[in-house]
Amino acid sequence: MCGIVGYIGPKKAADVLVNGLERLSYRGYDSAGVAVMDEKGRLAVRKTKGKLEQLKRLLEESPVDGCTGIGHTRWATHGEPSDLNAHPHTDVKGGIAVVHNGIIENHEALRKHLEGCGAVFASQTDTEVIAHLLNELYDGDMLHTLLRAQGMLQGSYAIGVLCDREPDQLFCMRCDSPLVAACREGEGFLASDVPALLSHTRDVVFLQDRQVGVLSRQGLRVIDEYGQACEPSFFHVEWDQSSAEKGGFAHYMLKEIHEQPTALQNTFAPRSRLGDFQWLPLSEDTACRLRRITIVACGTAYHAGVMGKYALEQLARIPTEVDIASEYRYRQPPVGENELLIAISQSGETADTLAALREAKRRGASVLAICNAVGSTITREAGEENTLYTYAGPEIAVASTKAYVTQTEMMIMIAVALGVMRNTLSMERAEALYQSLRELPSKAADTLGLEGRLQQIASRMSSRKHVFFVGRSVDYALSMEAALKLKEVSYLFSEAYAAGELKHGPIALLKPGRLVVACVTQPRVLEKMLANLQEVRARGAEVLAVCPDALAQQVRPQADELIVIPDTDEWLAPLLAAIPLQLFAYCMAVARGCDVDQPRNLAKSVTVE
């Protein structure tokens, strides 16, 4: 969503801030701004609607001097994208500047109260109330003021604050929205996400809820909500700057699709010894007692959960539900003994998934988190000991690719482990699956070679208006993800159906000009799928099918275009088939001239409801 950066040190703050904002631009934004303070505490704000190029032009025309500053890229929530609504926001006197991610839920009540005290608001944003509130509460000590403000702010926030009366410090505070701080010899840094810091340092501190951070040239102080100093716990980030950049690819999405062989390997490697299930934080006893698993997630991660349901039920014989996190959190789910909730999230910051996890904990469920972003809020709420990291590396493109395949791989590994522990899966079958998991990265690399073919298909099909995705069993789960991928990057109307459901309504929409993408990776339901495809073609719709080599001969007669993937275990075939379907979505988006990495209306991390 929005991006925050902050800097204090010897360098020209505006340059460091703009550079940091560029690293966060993948999050999507519609305006940007900086506030910079010189040594005498003179504060200057430059902000504008539009892209960072516009902010850079503004800074050229009207430069700001100073070595301490905060910056922001805004994605509008309260108030339209405009110069005035862009952050930073200041109090009436212009002595306190604030950047903010999140939503202040009681902003209207605070606004009324502050107007009553003489505040004059310049914007429609919820953020501006923070600047006026801090001014109202200011007692000569911004740290103390921030701690007092916590009691009055409801909602989620990660904020960076400058105060002209304390010019040698930069303040920050968080609640339910991520914030990372770092320091090195004579410099301090602040950001809402790690990539903004990687060119400076890889040792960072993830602030916890309600902690206040104070950065100065002397280092970082962290204070808890009771005013007690805490020892900052530094975390070494393994990613380097180049892994957070495009590395020669036209788009992050394409780069991340190509990173999937490595990502799959990284997810599997630490858990690759069959029989040694120490990595799974469940004892054999607990595994055997499990009566039900509920998986919660949003979007793509939800689709990985759907795949997980099939695997957990069939391999480990555990009744499993998958719920969209925003539904779970409000449906008052009954939670009994011996139940496990699995939350899946790439970012570990998705508000609904976090809330669903909290709700499950509140109701007494044991929890397990599957996350990519190390140190994220969901991992902390679940507890590091109950977190399984996918190790896919930074995912920058809004459309999730490598997170999806690694989440799906993780779900299958969990199902195999539980299957062996519960004696529902033979060691022989488990070994065969593990062998296929070992071979998966190289087969994933082979599927990347399909890009040229998919480009040709996409250039021929890019003018289609409606695309259907169909599959049965685990291929239905894959169809959902493939349809989401296509719609989010190419803006085409695309929808997934269980192939068996076609006859119950959707077939009415089929006619010449419609495209049906068929996922056909499961031998067990092959005959049924072929019959469905015959029905589709009988209505004049065109079929693009994806299948493994072993099924190609039977599928070919029912497909206008056929994409063939390498043979693998039937549980892993949909995972492999996801790769050409991601490439298909990517190529369609490029052919249609869409902004692949920052699709319309979307943001990478949805930290609000």
What is the binding site for ligand F6R (CB under 6 A)?
Answer: 298-301, 345-347, 350, 353, 399-400, 484, 488, 605-606
CB of 349 to ligand F6R, least distance (A): 7
CB of 485 to ligand F6R, least distance (A): 6
309, 402, 443, 604: which one is catalytic?
604
CB of 299 to ligand F6R, least distance (A): 2
Catalytic annotation on 604?
yes
Nearer to ligand F6R, 298 or 467 (CB): 298
**Residue showing the smallest CB distance to ligand F6R in the complex:** 299
- Residues 543/560, Cβ–Cβ less than 8 Å: yes
Six-digit token string for 42: 């003179």
CB of 598 to ligand F6R, least distance (A): 12
Separation CA 573–CA 556 (nearest Å): 18
Q: Are strands 89-90 and 515-519 parallel, antiparallel or unpaired?
A: unpaired
Nearer to ligand F6R, 121 or 239 (CB): 239
Nearer to ligand F6R, 26 or 138 (CB): 26
Q: Give the Å distances, CA to CA, from 62 to 44, 355, 382, 456.
A: 10, 44, 47, 48
- Residues 320/304, Cβ–Cβ less than 8 Å: no
Separation CA 351–CA 366 (nearest Å): 20
Separation CA 59–CA 14 (nearest Å): 8
For the beta carbon of residue 358, count every other beta carbon within 10 angstroms.
16
Q: Give the Å distances, CA to CA, from 326 to 156, 239, 292, 332.
A: 17, 31, 20, 12
Could you tell me if residue 402 is left (phi over 0), alpha (psi between -120 and 50 degrees) or otherwise beta? alpha
How far does the chain reach from its first CA to its final CA, in angstroms? 12
2, 67, 175, 587: which one is catalytic?
2
CB within 8 A of 596, min separation 6: which ones? 251, 253, 254, 397, 399, 489, 586, 589, 590
Catalytic annotation on 402?
no
Residue in the structure block whose two tokens are 């609607």: 49
Separation CA 427–CA 69 (nearest Å): 59
Nearer to ligand F6R, 73 or 407 (CB): 407
Separation CA 479–CA 472 (nearest Å): 9
CB of 36 to ligand F6R, least distance (A): 32
Give me the count of residues in the chain.
609
Nearer to ligand F6R, 17 or 484 (CB): 484
- Residues 175/354, Cβ–Cβ less than 8 Å: no
Nearer to ligand F6R, 4 or 146 (CB): 4
CB of 399 to ligand F6R, least distance (A): 4
CB of 25 to ligand F6R, least distance (A): 17
Nearer to ligand F6R, 25 or 353 (CB): 353
Nearer to ligand F6R, 301 or 541 (CB): 301
- Residues 555/531, Cβ–Cβ less than 8 Å: no
For the beta carbon of residue 524, count every other beta carbon within 10 angstroms.
9
**Of residues 208, 205, 224, 172, the one with CA closest to residue 68:** 172
Active site (catalytic) residues = 2, 604
